[in-house]
Amino acid sequence: MKPKIIKTILPTILGILTVLAILVLVNIIFHNGDGFSAPDNGFFTLFVPITTIIALIYQFSLALPFWNKFKSHKKVWGLTLFQFTALLCILSGLAFGLLFWERNFGLSELIYLSLTGIIGFAVYWTINLLTLKRIERAG
């Protein structure tokens, strides 16, 4: 059970911390740290803990079973791990864009948010899967 706990917690936390570090850096560089002042600081104080809980549940219930399927079979649903992850990042990023899009800012805001989501999910899953691979090599 201990390896499953480590495979659930460590990749998830490292992935989220990496994405969060990038978001903080982007916020400081492009927005002069406005994300740390009211009312935008809700992202860091509320969204990150909720996202972490959701990511841990997702990691335990879906990501690890798919990881094990990709280890035993080279393809799942006709897709390699890279193809599956890329499709997951694109769909998740588009959903992110739609979820946080404020229509009064126009279509360019949707595109910006969707690209931000795609990049964020790509970074998260890259760190997550590389960490899983490293854990399995060490174990």
Quote the pLDDT of residue 37: 62
Total number of domains constituting the chain = 1
Q: Which helix (H) or strand (E) holds 95?
A: helix 81-100
Count of C-beta atoms within a 10 Å radius of residue 33? 12
Mind listing the pLDDT tens digit for each residue in 49-101? 888 999 999 999 999 998 998 888 888 888 898 999 999 999 999 998 998 88
Residues spanned by the domain of 18: 2-138
Quote the pLDDT of residue 33: 64
CA dihedral 32, 35, 36, 39 (to 10 degrees): 130
Q: Does the pLDDT of residue 48 top 70, yes or no?
A: yes
Q: What's the whole-model pTM score?
A: 0.85
d(CA 66, CA 128): 13
